[in-house]
Structure 1
C-alpha cells in the first residue's frame, strides 16, 4: 500500500475526520458544563460534536470525553522528522562489537533528576527485564549500568559520573508542570560543562514529552520519547560512540 500524500483522522471509516478529545473544565457537573464543553470544541473548529462522557471531579470541576469531526488534513511532504538514526543490531552483535572495539563495558549512569519521582521509563530502559520482551541495558555484556533511581539532584548525578568515569548519561524526565523539566535538564548540562565533563560524555534524555529536537536544543546528544525500546537506546549508544571514536 502506497503512502498517501495527506492524512486526516480516522474513526469509523477512512478520512471521516473523527477525533476524541478529553479535558477538564472548572465548572460543576451539570447541563451548563456539558454545553460549555460542546461549545468549546466547536470553537476549536470541530463539528458533529458529541459529549460522550462527563465525570464530576468535585470542587466544581468536570472531566469530559468528547467526539467531533474535522476537515483538517496534514500534507505529509510538509512534515520533517528529526530523530536519532540507528541501525538495529541484535543484542549479541552489540556485545561482540563493544568487546572487540572498546575492550571493556561502556559505563552508563542513569537517573530521574530534580523533583521527578517517576522511574518506570528509566527502569524499562536500564533494568535487566526491560519491557515487552526487549531486554534492558543491564542484560547486555556491553554495558556497566548504574541506575540511581528517582529525585536525584543534578549535582549528585554529576558526582556519580565522575566517580565511575561514565561514558554515557541517561536522564529521564516525566514531570513537566510549568516546564520544570527544562529547568532540571538545563541545570544538569550547565553543571557538566562547569565540571569539564560535558565533552567526554554521550548524554541522552527520555520521557513522554521529550523529542530529539528539544534534546538538541537543550544541549543533549539525543532525545527519545514514549515507546522507545531498550534496544533502540543500546544501538544508539554503541553506534554513536563508535562513530565519535572512529572505530
Structure 2
C-alpha cells in the first residue's frame, strides 16, 4: 500500500506531534497562540500537551493533533546506496589492489562553522556509532584540517596533498549558510582543477538534503546518521572506479 496516514493511537488516525517556539511570554495566551498556529497548519483538533517558558519572552510548545494529509510513498525521492558496504579489511584490500597506493582524504569544516563533531566522527579513529573513523584504515591517508577552514585554504591543501577526495562537514549553520558555502567550495575546485584531476567532493551534515548533490556541484551528500564505513565504502567505490575507467 503506497498511500499512508500518520499513526498515533490507532492505525490511520492521522495523529501527529509537533514542537515549536513562539516569541510570546508563557501563559494562557501563549498556549492559545500555539493552538491557533497548529490549526492553521492543518491540525484539527490541536491539543497543547506541553508548554515551557524559554526566558521571559518566549515559550516552547509540544502540540498533539490530527491531520488529514495523506502520504504517497511511491512519490518519495531518496538517494539509495548504490555501492557495496565494505568492512575496513575490504576497504584496505580494494585500495591496495586497485589504487596501488594510499588513498588521500582531506577534510574539514568550511566557513564560520566551528563545530567539528561531524567531521571528527567520520575522520577520527574513535569514529561514530561503534565504527572506527577513516584514520583507522591503514590504506587511507587522512588530513583533518579542523574547523573554520577557508575555501582557498581547502583547495590549496587538497592540491598539496594530491587529494583523492575532499570531505566537508557543515553542522551549525544559519540562513542556508551550508548551501552557500558548499556552492562556493565546489565552484572553487572546478575553477582550480581540470575535470580529470579534481578530487571527489563530498559534503555532510544534518541540514543537507541528500538529493541536492548535483544542484550543489558535489559528488555526494551525506545526511545525519552517516557512519565512517558508509563514507569509506563510497570513496573506494568512486575513486577506484575512476582509476579503472
Question: How would you bin the TM-score normalised by the shorter chain?
Answer: over 0.9
For 2:23, which of 1, 14, 26 is the aligned residue?
26
> Post-superposition shift, 1:121?
1.3
Give CA deviations for 1:21-48 in whole Å, capped at 9, x if unaligned.
Answer: 1111111111111001001101111123
Superposed, 1:38-57 pairs within 5 Å as: 38-57=35-54
Secondary structure of 2:160 counterpart: helix
> What's the counterpart of residue 214 of structure 2?
216
> What's the counterpart of residue 231 of structure 1?
229
Given that 2:99 and 2:243 are in contact with CA atoms closer than 8 Å, whether structure 1 keeps it comes out as: no
Secondary structure of 2:45 counterpart: strand
RMSD over equivalenced CA pairs, Å? 1.6
**Greater alpha carbon shift after TM alignment, 107-116 vs 124-133:** 124-133
Show structure 1 runs of 5+ residues with no match. Answer: none
1:60 equivalent to 2:57? Answer: yes
Show structure 2 runs of 5+ residues with no match. Answer: none
Secondary structure of 1:58 counterpart: coil
1:106 equivalent to 2:103? Answer: yes
Give CA deviations for 1:119-140 in whole Å, capped at 9, x if unaligned.
Answer: 1111111111211211211111
- After superposing on structure 2, the runs of 4+ consecutive aligned residues of structure 1 that deviate more than 6 Å are none
Give the TM-score, by structure 2 length.
Answer: 0.94
Secondary structure of 2:176 counterpart: helix
**Greater alpha carbon shift after TM alignment, 82-91 vs 141-150:** 82-91
> Post-superposition shift, 1:183?
1.8
**Greater alpha carbon shift after TM alignment, 12-21 vs 135-144:** 12-21
Secondary structure of 1:87 counterpart: coil
> What's the counterpart of residue 239 of structure 2?
241
